[in-house]
Structure 1
Amino acid sequence: MNDHLTFDDLRAYQAGRLSGPARHRVERLLLEDPFYADALSGLEAMQQAATPTSEQLADLRNALKDRIHASATKKRLWPLWIATTTAAILFMLAMAIYFIFFAPKQPPQPLKPARPATTQSTHQVSMDQFRG
């Protein structure tokens, strides 16, 4: 069942152009949903005003656009470069904290002193001299 009302449905209901079941559906939706009841009240108020409905709808759309543009001022929008710089700084800070506190620490490997080859050969020669 269609549980949505359009502007044309409300105008037809108000003008009395709906059949019995359609009228009952509109009345049920008006009782169940306060949004539709407010819309019908607004439609009645618009018709009591001197301007035609299409002009009033255009005025409402323009007022809504102006309100949206006024609320989206540059003060409230965060520039992209601030967001990316903040993200980069937070990333670098997190990496620094990880490497300082949580990274596995390996002790430096001691360097083995290399023996010069000449010392070894003279050592062997001198040992040969003692044996023989």
Structure 2
Amino acid sequence: MTVKYTPDHEWIDLPGDDEIATIGITLHAQDALGDVVFVDLPAVGTTLAQKDVAGVVESVKAAADLYAPVSGTVVEVNEALRADPSLANSDPMGAGWFFKIKLSDQTQYDALMDASAYDELVKNS
């Protein structure tokens, strides 16, 4: 996995030289939200700019926007997550992924935080 992170607690996995990345929320985000009860996912074909609101995560405690960590076009959404939002809690870095996006600007991905920088951010927040 080549995972990077945003200050808004999204993760993005861009394997190898692929231009399709998988996006979800971090373990820290799902801990802060509590039990996820609903997710609003972007439509396939939607073009997003970096930091656009791509969806909403609702929990028993709060609702939070999901931001696009990079610009691109949504190519797939996780229908299993829509059917069972608790996957965002039980496996946020795996089966609880939100959507896949075809990157339009690789440099945006390159500029995101690696795991150690993200861990430092979480530790200091």
Coarse TM-score class (shorter-chain normalised): under 0.3
TM-score, normalised to structure 1's length?
A: 0.21
TM-score, normalised to structure 2's length?
A: 0.22
Q: Which has the higher contact order (CA 8 A, sep 6+)?
A: 2
From the two aligned structures, give the one with the greater helix fraction: 1
